[in-house]
């Protein structure tokens, strides 16, 4: 096995136990729409944890409701969602103890970056407020897709793909690792753990 030098972290469900709160955010933002439509979105959302809210809101309107929606309108819905998330997620108790301990202990032993489906600006504010931003070389999120976030980091830093590991809890995380030909470690989701080719902790 190649020695891992670079770790790319997903955020929700890996660093922070926030998936249930993300669920609540979508339900709150879309509470004026029919419950059956919201339920359909929640199923899509849970099956695609690593996709951005921009993709999910577009899916809700175009695929579930059959309505056209502009980028500007998607951004308005995403901003409403972000306002709810900022109130809920700046909470130290939501940080996952096992992961946080590894990050703090090993921050100087690896290149570490966050690559998340969460909104980039929101994510950076949350990490700064929780005093964990300094453990990472950089923090990246949507609207850029996870596949592209990983590809961009590999290119910018010239990382050897054989020594890079993505840690995530969704099929989109696994896909991003596969597409970019780096190692993958599933976390917190037994089905996704089965796709791991590397175990770090």
User: What CATH number is attached to the domain comprising 12?
Assistant: 3.40.50.1000
Boundary of a domain, candidates 37, 60, 89 = 89
What is the C-alpha radius of gyration for the chain, rounded to an integer number of angstroms?
Answer: 17
Cα 196 from Cα 174, distance rounded (Å): 8
Domain count, the chain: 2
Claim to verify: residue 136 and residue 72 sit in the same structural domain: no
pTM for the predicted model, two decimal places: 0.86
Of the candidates 105, 112, 156, the one whose C-alpha atom is nearest the C-alpha of residue 11 is: 112
Helix count (H) and strand count (E) of the chain?
9, 5
d(CA 105, CA 38): 41
Q: What is the tens place of the pLDDT at every residue in 27-55?
A: 999 999 999 999 999 999 988 877 889 99
Alpha helix positions (H), the chain = 19-29, 35-47, 53-58, 71-89, 97-106, 120-129, 146-157, 171-179, 190-193
Distance separating alpha carbons of residues 29 and 15, to the nearest angstrom: 24
pLDDT in tens, 101-117: 999 999 999 999 999 99
3-state secondary structure 37-53: HHHHHHHHHHHCCCCCH
176 and 141 assigned to the same domain? yes
Below-50 pLDDT ranges, the chain = none
Residues 175 and 107 in one domain: yes
Within this chain, do residues 105 and 175 fall inside the same structural domain, yes or no?
Answer: yes
Residue 198: phi and psi, rounded to 5, are -155, 135
200 domain residue, yes or no: no
List the domain range (segments joined by +) for residue 137: 6-17+95-193
């Amino acid at each position: 096995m190649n020695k891992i030098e670079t770790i790319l972290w997903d955020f929700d469900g890996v660093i922070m136990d926030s998936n249930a709160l993300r669920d609540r955010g979508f339900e709150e933002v879309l509470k004026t729409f029919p419950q059956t439509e919201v339920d359909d979105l929640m199923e899509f959302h849970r099956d695609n944890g690593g996709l951005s809210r921009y993709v999910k809101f577009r899916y809700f309107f175009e695929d579930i409701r059959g309505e056209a929606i502009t980028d500007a309108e998607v951004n308005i819905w995403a901003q409403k969602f972000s306002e709810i998330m900022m109130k809920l997620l700046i909470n130290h108790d939501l940080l996952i103890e096992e992961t946080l301990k590894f990050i703090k202990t090993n921050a100087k032993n690896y290149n570490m970056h966050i690559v998340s489906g969460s909104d980039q600006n929101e994510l950076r504010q949350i990490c700064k407020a929780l005093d964990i931003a300094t453990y990472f070389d950089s923090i990246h999120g949507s609207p850029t897709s996870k596949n592209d976030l990983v590809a961009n980091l590999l290119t910018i830093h010239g990382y050897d793909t054989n020594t890079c590991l993505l840690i995530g809890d969704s099929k989109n995380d696994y896909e991003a690792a596969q597409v970019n030909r780096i190692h993958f470690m599933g976390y917190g989701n037994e089905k996704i753990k089965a796709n791991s080719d590397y175990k770090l902790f």
